[in-house]
């Protein structure tokens, strides 16, 4: 492990960085991933299923009602905080995340592109108004008294903030307060396109690395093209790609260095190797990572 860490530091030393993060970064915060070693096979709901009607929407929101109560208790881990430290020091020039949990911002990162959106936001499929997931949670509790208490802790939590609950037919949906339309979490479902503006901003971050920077991938299998395209783009333009992930990734052929290790350990070491000063008031629990 130490040899791998030393190699990461050698490759990335003195380079401006952009980070691309995935679900593997949040596993140390208690949020499971889809494709990590030992993870059971999970099939998330697709966009087509969700918009098919109230049966699918009831199934999603019943599961999410339970899962949200668990996910919102998650807190940033050392990997999240390490990236915030690197940003504060000026080493990390931007962060692209495939995660929807909002833990990067909670850790103190500011320049974050939430590629797949945020689970804490809700959008109306009709009028497109964005509202708070926390407010919706209260409305669901009022419409479904006792539902959460009827679900035991043994029900498994899935990565997107829901649980693997089978019986959902009695769960009551609530509509958009503005127009009465159907509500959807403001995240990109499978089968749905990432908004063009986010993609263009992400490409611009990678382009800014040409001529001396490096792309650091942390905790992503890069199975879906939404993240893999930035790895391919970096490699095509001569930007070194370093991948830190437990398990193989689709980006491995494009990487100059592949580290089979946990993101908390590697990112903490990377932050600890940078001796520049950091504003302690702006990074939660930054002293855990201080050199």
Catalytic residues: 116
Binding residues for NAD(+): 22-42, 98-101, 219-221, 245-247, 263
Residues contacting 171, CB < 8 A, separation 6+: 58, 61, 62, 65, 144, 147
Residue whose C-alpha is closest to residue 161's, from 38, 28, 44: 44
Binding residues: 22-42, 98-101, 124, 127, 176, 179, 219-221, 245-247, 263
Q: Which residues of 50-72 are buried (b: 16+ CB within 10 A; e: fewer)?
A: beeeeebbbbbbbbbbbbbebbe
Q: CA-to-CA distance for 15 and 12, rounded, in angstroms?
A: 6
What 32-38 contacts at long range (C-beta under 8 Å, 24+ apart), as own/partner pairs, is 32/156, 32/157, 32/158, 32/159, 33/159, 33/219, 34/159, 34/221, 35/221, 35/223, 35/247, 36/221, 36/246, 36/247, 37/246, 37/247
> Residue 133 in contact with residue 122, Cβ under 8 Å?
yes
Start-to-end C-alpha separation, the chain: 19
Residue whose C-alpha is closest to residue 21's, from 92, 75, 126: 92
Binding residues for Zn(2+): 124, 127, 176, 179
What 34-39 contacts at long range (C-beta under 8 Å, 24+ apart), as own/partner pairs, is 34/159, 34/221, 35/221, 35/223, 35/247, 36/221, 36/246, 36/247, 37/246, 37/247
């Amino acid at each position: 492990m130490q040899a791998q860490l030393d190699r990461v530091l050698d490759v990335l030393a003195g380079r401006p960085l952009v980070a691309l993060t995935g679900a593997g970064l949040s596993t140390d915060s208690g949020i499971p991933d889809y494709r990590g070693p030992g993870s059971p096979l999970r099939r998330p709901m697709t966009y087509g299923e969700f918009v098919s009607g109230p049966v699918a929407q009831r199934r999603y929101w019943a599961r999410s009602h339970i899962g949200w109560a668990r996910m919102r208790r998650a807190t940033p881990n050392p990997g999240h905080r390490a990236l915030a430290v690197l940003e504060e020091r000026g080493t990390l020039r931007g962060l692209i995340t495939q995660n929807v949990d909002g833990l990067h911002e909670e850790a103190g990162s500011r320049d974050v592109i939430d590629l797949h959106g945020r689970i804490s936001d809700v959008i109306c499929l009709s009028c497109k108004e964005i509202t708070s997931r926390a407010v919706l949670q209260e409305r669901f509790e009022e419409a479904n008294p006792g539902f959460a208490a009827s679900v035991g802790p043994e029900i498994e939590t899935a990565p997107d903030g829901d649980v693997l609950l089978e019986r959902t037919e009695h769960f009551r949906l609530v509509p958009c307060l503005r127009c009465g339309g159907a509500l959807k979490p403001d995240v990109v479902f499978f089968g749905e396109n990432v908004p063009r503006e986010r993609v263009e901003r992400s490409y611009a971050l990678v382009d800014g690395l040409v001529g001396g920077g490096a792309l650091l991938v942390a905790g992503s299998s890069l199975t879906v093209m939404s993240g893999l395209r930035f790895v391919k783009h970096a490699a095509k333009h001569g930007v070194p790609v370093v991948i830190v992930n437990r398990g193989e990734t689709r980006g491995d052929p494009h990487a100059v260095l592949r580290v089979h290790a946990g993101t908390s350990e590697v990112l903490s070491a990377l932050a600890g190797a940078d001796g520049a000063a950091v504003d302690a008031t702006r990074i939660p629990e930054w002293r855990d990572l201080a050199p």
